């Protein structure tokens, strides 16, 4: 039985509708599976339900990531220095990082007597407490390192020069400090609700230096700046900064020394 023209028209329209609908559904399906589509879905769900939104507490509970180059540099270091033990120095670096935080928090630089170069730097931080705090990345009234902890330490770089070798390390750590929140009016006193303790996740950069031949370093103390004014120290035997007169500690020769510990406050 042949279909009449009256019945054929609606069937053709239905077929066209099904084809167009199927094409649109396919495009939507492809878009939802794309990176942009998934991102929009997450954003929409976050706006409606709050799901997927990371709050400050969750961020502060996550240790900072490190740029580990252990597999590349540790074999080279151990080849150049067969008696060097990275496991031992990793523990020493982490202890030094925590000790530095403690020395600043307790205003006791003498805790770092084993690391005279770091001790000088901490003495300067404590002396210029208010000036240093005003330039920090976080809003704080003073330098504080409460509930301090070091998680992990990795080698991030290794430089072997003619007269000295330098190992660059990174340590992920955390501590707590009192920070300002809300309006300035509410944060006028530490007892106000405008202050709260915040957990800070951070990274400390450390340098281990081994001076083999002072003469081949061209008189320069690698990676060492005056702890008071920041001017580069030109000589391994320099006892006083030529710019501000601050007393300096020289590096030991043929001994691995923790020469620098700097917090990455970004």
Please, what sign has the CA dihedral across residues 60, 62, 67, 71?
positive
Q: DSSP letter string over the chain? A: -PPPHHHHHHHHHHHHHHHHHHHHHHHHHHHHHSHHHHHHHHHHHHHHH-TT---HHHHHTSPPP----HHHHHHHHHHH-TT--HHHHHHHHHHHHHHHHHHHHTT-GGGGTTSHHHHHHHHHHHHTHHHHHHTSSS-BSS---EEEEEEEEEEEEEEE-SSEEEEEEEEEEEEEEEEE-S-TTTTSSTTSTTEEEEEEEEEEEEEEEEES-GGGGTT--TT-B-TTT-PBP--TT--B-TTT--B--PPPBTS-EEEEEEEE--
Instruction: Identify the pLDDT of residue 264.
Output: 87
Does the pTM exceed 0.85? Answer: no
Instruction: Identify the pLDDT of residue 28.
Output: 74
Alpha-carbon distance 111 to 96, whole Å? 10
Instruction: Identify the pLDDT of residue 143.
Output: 79
Alpha-carbon distance 214 to 206, whole Å? 21
Regions of the chain short of the pLDDT cut 70: 1-9, 11, 29, 31-61, 128-142, 181-194, 212-240, 242-243, 245-254, 266
Instruction: Identify the pLDDT of residue 185.
Output: 47
Average pLDDT of the chain is 74
Alpha-carbon distance 137 to 164, whole Å? 33
């Amino acid at each position: 039985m042949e279909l009449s023209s009256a019945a054929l028209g609606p069937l053709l329209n239905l077929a066209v509708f099904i084809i167009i609908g199927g094409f649109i559904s396919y495009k939507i399906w492809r878009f939802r599976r794309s990176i942009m589509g998934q991102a929009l879905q997450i954003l929409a769900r976050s706006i409606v339900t709050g799901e997927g939104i990371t709050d400050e507490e969750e961020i502060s509970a996550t240790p900072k990531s490190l740029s580990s180059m252990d597999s590349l540099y540790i074999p080279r270091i151990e080849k150049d220095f067969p008696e060097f033990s990275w496991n031992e120095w990793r523990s020493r670096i982490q202890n030094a990082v925590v000790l530095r935080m403690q020395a600043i928090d307790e205003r006791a630089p003498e805790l770092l007597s084993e690391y005279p170069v770091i001790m000088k730097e901490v003495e300067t931080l404590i002396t210029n407490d208010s000036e240093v705090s005003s330039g920090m990345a976080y809003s704080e009234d003073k330098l504080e390192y409460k509930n301090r902890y070091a998680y992990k330490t990795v080698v991030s770089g290794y430089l072997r020069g003619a007269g000295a070798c330098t190992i660059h390390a990174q340590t992920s750590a955390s501590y707590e400090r009192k920070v300002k929140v809300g309006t300035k009016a509410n944060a006028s006193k530490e007892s106000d609700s405008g202050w709260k303790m915040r957990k800070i996740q951070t990274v400390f950069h450390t340098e281990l230096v081994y001076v083999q031949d002072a003469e081949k370093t061209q008189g320069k103390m690698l990676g060492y700046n005056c702890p008071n004014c920041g001017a580069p120290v030109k000589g391994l035997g320099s006892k006083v900064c030529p710019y501000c007169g601050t007393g300096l500690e020289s590096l030991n020769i043929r001994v691995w020394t923790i020469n620098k510990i700097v917090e990455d406050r970004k």
